[in-house]
Amino acid sequence: MARIRLYDFPLSGNAHKVRNLLALLGVDYERVPVDLAAGEQRTRAFEDLNPFRQVPVLVDGATVVRDSSAILVYLARKFGRGAWLPVDAEGEARVQEWLATASTAIADGPALARLIVLFGAEGDLEAARERARTLFDRLEGHLAGRVWLAAEHPTIADVACYSYVALAPDGGVPLEAWPRVRSWLERLEKLPGFEPAPLRPEAA
């Protein structure tokens, strides 16, 4: 069977979510670097894989999956033996709530602030930082009396939300004010196989 391929950019938090789950699941795969800085995501060959011109993209035989949350669902169902994505109606919905948060409030808050600071993306930095702080207040409240975001055990909800929360200091939002959020990040970091988030460009 052909090895799974992950189209990847080392500093992408969205790609990190997928690398992290692959590592936590112990799945062997090949990393295919896509040089976003050089515009490789806009080449015809890459557009054939993902018309939305973004990493990550996962290729498993004839199956091509784009979008980090969709890829996490695919990997959890295929390799997670039910552990990372519950199969009951409420259990799966609880996970989907946080996959949606990763694609909205986290993307528009801490992820955007990081994109502006590190990569010079366009956008309102102060508004992104404020959205990040509001999100962290809500996350802090949610984590009162909880160990993991969506279940009694770690799920892809935790993996999807981890990367850009952990990287928030890169965007100028230090996490000191949210101790439960920091403890939750530390719990994830202790899971066997956990892969650390990307380094800052100057450290890479």
Ligand X SMILES: N[C@@H](CCC(=O)N[C@@H](CS)C(=O)NCC(=O)O)C(=O)O
Question: Contact positions toward ligand X, by CB under 6 A?
Answer: 9, 12-14, 36, 41, 53-56, 67-69, 103
Can you tell me which residue has the tokens 């004839």? 62
CB-nearer residue toward ligand X: 12 or 20:
12
CB-nearer residue toward ligand X: 140 or 169:
169
Nearest distance from C-beta of residue 10 to ligand X, angstroms: 11
CA torsion, points 128, 133, 135, 136, in degrees to nearest 10? 140
Query: Whose CB is nearest to ligand X?
Result: 54
Nearest distance from C-beta of residue 163 to ligand X, angstroms: 9
- Please state whether the peptide bond connecting residue 201 to the residue before it is cis, i.e. omega within 30 degrees of 0: no
Nearest distance from C-beta of residue 101 to ligand X, angstroms: 12
CB-nearer residue toward ligand X: 56 or 80:
56
CB-nearer residue toward ligand X: 54 or 155:
54
What is the residue type of 22? L
Whether 7 contacts 49, CB under 8 Å: yes
Backbone angles phi, psi at 176, to 5 degrees: -55, -35
Whether 181 contacts 116, CB under 8 Å: no
Nearest distance from C-beta of residue 1 to ligand X, angstroms: 25
